[in-house]
Amino acid sequence: MPTEMNAQRTSSCLKQKKNGKKISKRIKRIKADIKLHLMFQIIRARAENDGVKDALLTRSLRVLMGKQNLTKS
């Protein structure tokens, strides 16, 4: 019985790790999508000579990149 319970626990731990990795990859993909969206919006704002929108979006992108760099260190 104890070995069977250990095997179930090990299996459960492996599933949790696998799910954690999937979630981590999804989060990274979402962050990349947000950055790309901001970059395209910045380009559009510059093409339309909308300095206020350009500045706001650029600042948002910088904040996002700064947070990302903090989590890496």
Place of tokens 């969206």: 37
Q: Please tell me the predicted confidence (pLDDT) of residue 61.
A: 96
Q: Please tell me the predicted confidence (pLDDT) of residue 68.
A: 75
Each residue's pLDDT, cut to its tens digit, for the chain (73 residues) gives 556 666 566 667 667 777 778 888 899 999 999 999 999 999 999 999 999 999 999 999 999 998 877 776 5
* Whether pTM exceeds 0.85: no
4-34 as b/e: b if 16+ CB within 10 A: eeeeeeeeeeeeeeeeeeeeeeeeeeeeeee
Task: Look up residue 48 and give its DSSP letter.
Answer: T
Q: Please tell me the predicted confidence (pLDDT) of residue 8.
A: 63
Written as one letter, the residue type at 42 is I
Distances (CA, A) of 31 to 25, 34, 66: 10, 5, 13
